[in-house]
């Protein structure tokens, strides 16, 4: 079959926002119905598992120009629907944006203003499980075996114990967490309910769904039906799954357009960071940015990754260096800025849609959850050099189609030096990285590789072109722990 993925994703640069922690704002006038929480944790205190900071869509609206100026053209939100936890993976009502975020009015205004700036919006679809306050499950808690909704969930025995850990929960839940009852996806009504939720928000104007733990929804044909229903409304809607492992079974063209590309994440951090990676921050998530990789090993990882999927899938992967489920890159790297910069260079020049976790661009730190979900810092605490580095790379990606859609060819991989090209139509971009602590000088056969270098687009390194017999040569000089982009 011919695999098709959304065209806009191939040109997208995502910004991932954890809504409770990005910005607080107020509606422009009293016509909007909004209730501000009164028991909020101070914004700049380190977050705790159960505390709220009070971030909302009114605040995000007021920062849309910052996001646009960064060069971002797509936003992925962690869950926004009514819930009783700050991360909102405990859904109570899929049709209501959480009132602390400003409710449906605020989201509708946000969506309008984002689209006016040509920024796409992807929401987190948590369709494997719900919260205990979800109406259909709450009815079971109230009415026990007399509830008409028993077969929406997998009730194993009576009595059901939703809160008292001294007794068995007696129902299926996500990773045995009784706060997260798991849907019975074999139930036709449950399937139809989820399909209609997905359709409703696509009809309201969102541009796609990021699917939470979709590998745990094992009902036959569920995700094929999900794709068919969503794409019927908007063929360009983006469907991306949270899959941490190789994902061939979900990327056959009948289910997801892409996945969160943690395979790229772990290889890139292991190569750029090496022994600097603090293993205590990467032992819990199911990805492994260790042990260290040299350039040939990194090239092999990338080659293996490319061999897994159709090229159209690669162009629609959601590539990332950190997320709400991992420690932040700066902390993982032991606060080594060079590691962050080298990883970011590879992220912004790789096939697929890069995703920047809010605050990473200004040097926000954070360990394992909940520390990785800190509030966006005040401007006096920004690392402006890192911010400008992100802006420069994003601008280059937006300017040169080869960095978004070009094919990918490894030109050199030896010891600590990794060089590759991205070619689209008549345009070729060269990216070179030296992750070692010594300067390197690499000579390439420019004639054999069909290279005609014009200028440096990024980096304080240098190059020299020459002639040896019938061959043109390209000598690339790289400082320690540095990278460059050539046109």
Q: CA angle 259-262-268, nearest 5°?
A: 135
CA 232 to CA 230: how far, in whole Å?
Answer: 5
Run of H or E residues at 233:
helix 222-233
Q: Which residue has the tokens 């954070």?
A: 366
- Told to judge if 242 belongs to the known catalytic residues of this protein, a careful annotator would answer yes
Return the SS3 of 289: coil
Q: Which of 124, 212, 336, 341 is catalytic?
A: 212
Q: Which of 124, 242, 341, 360 is catalytic?
A: 242
Contact, 150 vs 183, CB < 8 A?
A: no
Contact, 469 vs 476, CB < 8 A?
A: no
Helical ranges in 400-451 per DSSP H: 402-405
- Told to judge if 216 belongs to the known catalytic residues of this protein, a careful annotator would answer no
Tell me the pairing of strands 462-468 and 471-478. antiparallel
| Tokens read off for 81 | 């629907």
Helix 384-399 to helix 337-347 angle (10° resolution) is 10
CA 354 to CA 340: how far, in whole Å?
Answer: 14
CA 365 to CA 327: how far, in whole Å?
Answer: 8
Catalytic residue ranges: 212, 242
């Amino acid at each position: 079959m011919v695999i098709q993925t959304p065209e806009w994703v191939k040109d997208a640069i995502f910004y991932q926002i954890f809504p409770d922690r990005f910005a607080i704002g107020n509606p422009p006038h009293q016509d909007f119905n909004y209730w501000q929480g009164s028991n909020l944790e101070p914004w700049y205190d380190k977050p705790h598992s159960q505390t709220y900071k009070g971030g909302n869509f009114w605040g995000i609206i007021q920062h849309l120009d910052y996001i646009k100026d960064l060069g971002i053209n797509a936003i992925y939100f962690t869950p926004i629907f009514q819930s009783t936890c700050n991360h909102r993976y405990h859904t109570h009502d899929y049709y209501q944006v959480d009132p602390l975020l400003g409710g449906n009015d605020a989201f509708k205004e946000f969506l309008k203003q984002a689209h006016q700036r040509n920024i796409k919006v992807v929401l987190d679809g948590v369709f494997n499980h719900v919260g205990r306050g979800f109406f259909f499950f709450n009815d079971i808690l109230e009415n026990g075996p007399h509830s008409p909704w028993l077969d929406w969930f997998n009730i194993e025995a009576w009595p059901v114990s939703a809160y008292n850990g001294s007794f068995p929960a007696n129902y299926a839940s996500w990773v045995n967490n009784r706060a997260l009852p798991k849907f019975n996806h074999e139930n036709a009504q449950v399937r139809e309910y989820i399909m209609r939720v997905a359709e409703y928000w696509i009809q309201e104007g969102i541009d796609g769904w990021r699917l939470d733990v979709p590998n745990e929804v094992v009902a036959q044909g569920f995700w094929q039906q999900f794709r068919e229903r969503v794409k019927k409304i908007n063929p360009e809607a983006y469907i991306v799954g949270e899959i941490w492992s190789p994902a061939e079974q979900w990327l056959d063209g009948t289910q997801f357009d892409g996945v969160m590309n943690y395979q790229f994440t772990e290889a890139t951090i292991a190569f750029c960071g090496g022994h600097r990676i603090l293993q205590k921050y990467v032992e819990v998530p199911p990805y492994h940015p260790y042990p260290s990789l040299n350039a040939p090993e990194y090239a092999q990882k990338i080659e293996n990754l490319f061999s897994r999927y159709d090229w159209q899938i690669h162009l629609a992967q959601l590539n990332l260096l950190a997320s709400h489920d991992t420690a932040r890159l700066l902390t993982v790297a032991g606060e080594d800025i060079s590691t962050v910069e080298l990883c970011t260079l590879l992220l912004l020049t790789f096939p697929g849609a890069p995703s920047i976790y809010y605050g990473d661009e200004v040097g926000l730190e954070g360990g394992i959850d909940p520390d990785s979900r800190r509030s966006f810092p005040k401007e006096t605490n920004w690392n402006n050099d890192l911010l400008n580095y992100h802006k420069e790379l994003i601008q280059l990606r937006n300017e040169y189609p080869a960095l978004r859609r070009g094919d990918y060819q490894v030109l050199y991989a030896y010891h600590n030096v990794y060089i590759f090209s991205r070619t689209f139509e008549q345009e070729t971009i060269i990216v070179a990285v030296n992750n070692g602590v010594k300067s390197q000088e690499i000579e390439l056969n420019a004639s054999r590789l069909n290279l005609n270098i014009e200028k440096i687009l990024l980096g304080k390194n240098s190059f020299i072109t020459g002639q040896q017999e019938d061959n043109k040569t390209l000598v690339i000089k790289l400082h320690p722990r540095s990278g460059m982009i050539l046109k």
